[in-house]
Amino acid sequence: MVQQVDNPRGTVVHIDGQPWYFAPLSLGALELLLPKLQSFTEQDLGTVIDVAHKSLKRNYPEITRAEVADMIYMDQLQEVMGAVMSVSGLKANSQGETAQGE
């Protein structure tokens, strides 16, 4: 079981009955991921895994990218991406592009 920090922050998404706290992405993570997010489509599974991993790592410091890849299923893709984008101050438009929130 992955150890959680004492005071997690973020948006909760239940995966396999467990609550997972998806934290806002750091500025450094956003800088690295923004080019991928601007052209994101649901077929970009690597981007989903990268975004979820960077988000979860803030509340679960020892979680690996492989663990994140194994725990998220296709039917949770939109919920996870929506949670991370929302809590990070970004939102996806209907074409899958991201824009900064106001």
Neighbours of 96 (CB within 10 A): 15
Q: Where are the domains of the chain?
A: 11-91
CA distances from 65 to 16, 93, 100 (A): 18, 26, 26
Question: CA–CA separation, 55 vs 75, rounded Å?
Answer: 19
Residue 67: which H helix or E strand, with range? helix 65-71
Question: CA–CA separation, 46 vs 93, rounded Å?
Answer: 20
Q: How does pLDDT run across 91-100, given as a tens digit for each residue?
A: 754 444 444 4
Q: How does pLDDT run across 56-87, given as a tens digit for each residue?
A: 999 999 999 999 999 999 999 989 999 998 99
- What's this model's pTM, rounded to 2 decimal places? 0.82
